[in-house]
Amino acid sequence: MFGTMNAGPEVKASALPSESHLHGHMARGDFLDCYSVESAMTPRQAAEIITEFPGWARFLVLVRRVVTAPFGLSNDGPQARDKIGPFPVEAETESELIAGLNDKHLDFRVSVFSDGGRVSLATWVHPHNIGGRLYLAVILPFHILIARNALARVGSTSKPQI
């Protein structure tokens, strides 16, 4: 009756690739999620698309900025020689780019990992205190929407690896 609809690329919840350097950050009580999509992009190419937020996500970031301003949380990230969006690049290899920062309430890193025709986006968070745990609980549903949307955009953009 409605015909077939193209749902776009399939974004799947996945395990953090075993080769990811993000494993070195993990400690008891930390948050980690990972999603992947079929794509032959390099980590840097995918990260550039991931941080090009659509309008609805930019609006959510603006709301976050307004709500967190009284608490002195970072909104634009620290100065850095190399950044992806607002996030300083911590490490980059042929297969992985890790970016993120440490803040008062939590430390976080994102990993964009490319291997075997799949791009994975993982997020690691280490809360420092109750404020960090509350912040994570509040933003988690929005984080999942943004991460999955970002990978769908990666999967629907065709850029060959260099």
Instruction: Give pLDDT tens digits for 59-100.
Output: 777 776 777 666 666 566 667 788 888 889 999 999 999 999
pTM score, two decimals?
Answer: 0.83
Instruction: Give pLDDT tens digits for 13-71.
Output: 999 999 999 999 999 989 999 999 999 999 999 999 999 887 877 777 777 677 766 66
In order, the DSSP letters of the chain are --------S--EE-PPPTT-GGGGG--TT-EEEEEEEE----HHHHHHHHTS--HHHHHHHHHHHHHHGGGT--SS----SSEETTEEEEEE-SSEEEEEEE-SSEEEEEEEEEETTEEEEEEEEEE-SHHHHHHHHHHHHHHHHHHHHHHHHHHHS-----
Residue 7 predicted with pLDDT over 90: no
Domains, in order of start, for the chain = 22-156 (3.30.530)
